Structure 1
Amino acid sequence: MADGPVVTVRGEAYREVPPELARFTVTVTARDRDRETTLTKLAERAAAVRVLLDGTGSAVDRRETGDLRVRPETRRATERVVAWHGAVTTTVTVSDFTALGELMLRLADQDQVEVAGPWWSLRPDSPAYREARHAAITDALDRAREYAEALGARVTALLELADTGSERPMMARMAYAGGPEGGTPELDLDPQPQPVHAAVQARFAISEPVLG
């Protein structure tokens, strides 16, 4: 506990920075009356997507395959199977945005493939977060000094500093523009600036105010 006067302030910092990553999903589907045929189609189409991704070289930072679903389609009120549905989803992460639009279009051109995204984000260890936290601390100190100055006092010591949280939203914006007639379509992507927010709560000891 401080023996003298104390000022408590909140420091904040807000930045908008370019995204560092873009993620999108590629879902391959298959349907047939025969289960084995459905699985074969699904495996072949998933393999075609893998081959395409393998050919991108360093354009793809990371890919993760998950959400494999195979389900029967039955007639209403019966258990008679009339068809089998299969789907497998791969999440693709890229940091080279120059190749992103072309890659998504090439994947979407595959048979029975759905492409969704992109979702823009920063890396978990992005320097933008550290810079925002530092700026929030500077803001807290500036505020404390302003209050102390208004009282004819000065800041003498930091008593407590607490991180009150930050926001790391991910947002997406995508624009599609068809290419010339008969030519290859073009996909124009607008990377969405990423808001970075940091806030701290700080308590400072100040010298005796000069009142009156």
Structure 2
Amino acid sequence: MSTKQERADLIGQRLDELYPHIDIPLDHKDAYTLLVAVILSAQCTDKRVNEVTPALFADADTPEKMVRLGQLRIKELIATCGLANSKSKSIYEMSKILIAKHGGEVPDSFQDLEKLPGVGHKTASVVMVHQFGVPAFPVDTHIHRLAQRWKLTNGKNVEQTEADLKKLFPSKEWELRHLQFITYGRQHCTARGCDGTQCPMCRELFPNRTKPVITKK
């Protein structure tokens, strides 16, 4: 594959064959519960988040209920997710701001979302694309790793990776592509299970590659 675009086109084709339809793996019912789940998913598996959120959302599935629940109780309910102290504070403070400034609703703009405690660009992107249908390409560690192994980006940082992927794939594909990349990265091109030479995609894209690819964090 001589160009990035040719590689991206083949990758898209192969991912569509493997995963024609994928739902976001975090259980949620609306923008607020998705926002909370994504905050909880930082340095935590989706499986673990989905084990924690039923009890949390049974008690508090709105900003108002979450504030009444209180930070200490939130922390107790999410303890197994890790970083429970900072996450409980973020969820509690974020919920207070939603009530005070947004009428208890999750805002549908990157600018407003990224002002909320615990909400960075990736979290905002997940909510915007999956809940509000606004084109976004959230880049996590899996996507950042694969984009480097597949020579779609130089891996300078996640911001650069996001910008490069947005140029290579049409905006109408971003929502599905981001989920496909993550799923493939978890199942086939893992951090330790592949070094850029082992998985089917790496072998097809770079059949003559013999040296491991060192990816940047």
Instruction: Give the TM-score, by structure 2 length.
Output: 0.25
Pick the structure with greater CA Rg.
1
Judging by fraction of residues, say which structure has more strand.
1
